[in-house]
């Protein structure tokens, strides 16, 4: 799979930590130019130094549509194209039950986990159409297939990503745009720390690692344009 993405440009939204960070490393190792996007400019700049090569740091707040548009414009100005968008950003909250959830937190959860993906999708589509194709990867959650205690706002947003992905493909397939939704199971990322009850270390020991999900993203992106993976579930083998 070495150099599978040579001469391609990948925008990684949520690149400052967790799965997004490891996806940036994986795609860079496969030869892609990497656009690092998240709210944490300091972390992105450190990551760009670690990756080296062709990287562009684009501070982005996914709740701010102008921030997203500026980042995409900078990407096209720098590299001239966008081949892959990976929407890897996401959050959750400890106070997640229906009794605890406030309207403000509901709105924030949908804004980060779903609305941001919609705005990023809209922002990259003109470029992808113009160049005759592209791939959008959305990181959802296995909670879509296996409802759990992750909270209704989290699950609603992650379900929404599925509709966004499949609806986008239906509209854009004649323009060469493909979409994939990846559903990771328990993954050892900072998001686990936001659980209301700490996950036991013996459970975390068997969780997926961020690089496992990154490799799944790389697999999908390395396929030829004639192939598409609509959905991919990735689970820990011992949980």
Chain segment 178-201, per-residue pLDDT in tens: 999 999 999 999 888 888 888 899
- Among 138, 135, 178, smallest CA distance to 158 is for 138
- Among 213, 226, 222, 148, smallest CA distance to 183 is for 213
Task: Give a yes or no: residue 204 inside a domain.
Answer: yes
- Band (pLDDT 50/70/90 cuts) for residue 2 is low
User: Coil, helix or strand for 214?
Assistant: helix
Chain segment 47-83, per-residue pLDDT in tens: 999 998 899 999 999 999 999 999 999 999 999 999 9
Mean pLDDT of 114-134: 98
Q: Which residues of 195-216 are buried (b: 16+ CB within 10 A; e: fewer)?
A: eeeeeeeeeeeebbebbbbbbb
Output the domain CATH number for residue 52: 3.40.50.720
- Among 31, 29, 38, smallest CA distance to 9 is for 31
Task: Give a yes or no: residue 71 inside a domain.
Answer: yes
Q: At residue 1, does pLDDT exceed 80?
A: no
Beta-bridge mates of residue 223? none
Chain segment 73-105, per-residue pLDDT in tens: 999 999 999 999 999 999 999 999 999 999 999
Task: Give a yes or no: residue 2 inside a domain.
Answer: no
User: Where in the sequence is the domain holding 225, given as residue range(s)?
Assistant: 9-234
* Number of structural domains the chain divides into: 1
User: Coil, helix or strand for 98?
Assistant: coil
Q: Is the pTM here over 0.75, yes or no?
A: yes
87 counts as catalytic = no
Task: Give a yes or no: residue 35 inside a domain.
Answer: yes
* Pairing mode, strands 231-234 and 134-139: unpaired
Task: Give a yes or no: residue 174 inside a domain.
Answer: yes
Please identify which of the residues 154, 214, 217, 236 carries the catalytic annotation: 154
Q: How far apart are CA 153 and CA 92, in angstroms?
A: 8
Structure tokens at 37: 């996007």
Q: How far apart are CA 55 and CA 46, in angstroms?
A: 11
């Amino acid at each position: 799979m070495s150099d599978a993405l040579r001469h391609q440009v990948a925008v990684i939204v949520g690149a400052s930590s967790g799965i997004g960070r490891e996806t940036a490393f994986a795609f860079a190792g496969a030869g892609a130019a990497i656009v690092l996007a998240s709210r944490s400019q300091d972390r992105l700049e450190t990551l760009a130094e670690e990756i080296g090569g062709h990287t562009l740091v684009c501070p982005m707040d996914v709740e701010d549509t102008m921030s997203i548009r500026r980042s995409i414009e900078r990407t096209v100005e720098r590299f001239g194209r966008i081949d892959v968008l990976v929407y890897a950003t996401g959050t959750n909250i400890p106070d997640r039950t229906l009794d605890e959830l406030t309207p403000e937190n509901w709105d924030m959860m949908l804004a980060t986990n779903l609305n941001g993906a919609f705005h990023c999708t809209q922002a990259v589509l003109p470029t992808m159409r113009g160049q005759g194709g592209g791939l959008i990867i959305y990181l959802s959650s296995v909670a879509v297939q296996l409802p759990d205690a992750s909270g209704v706002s989290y699950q609603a947003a992650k379900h929404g990503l599925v509709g966004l992905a499949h609806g986008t493909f239906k509209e854009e397939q004649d323009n060469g745009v493909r979409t994939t939704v990846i559903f990771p199971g328990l993954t050892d990322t900072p998001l686990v720390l936001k659980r209301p009850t700490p996950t036991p270390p013996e459970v975390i020991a068997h969780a997926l690692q961020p690089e496992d999900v990154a490799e799944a993203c790389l697999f999908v992106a390395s396929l030829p344009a004639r192939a598409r993976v609509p959905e991919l579930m990735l689970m820990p083998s011992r949980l």
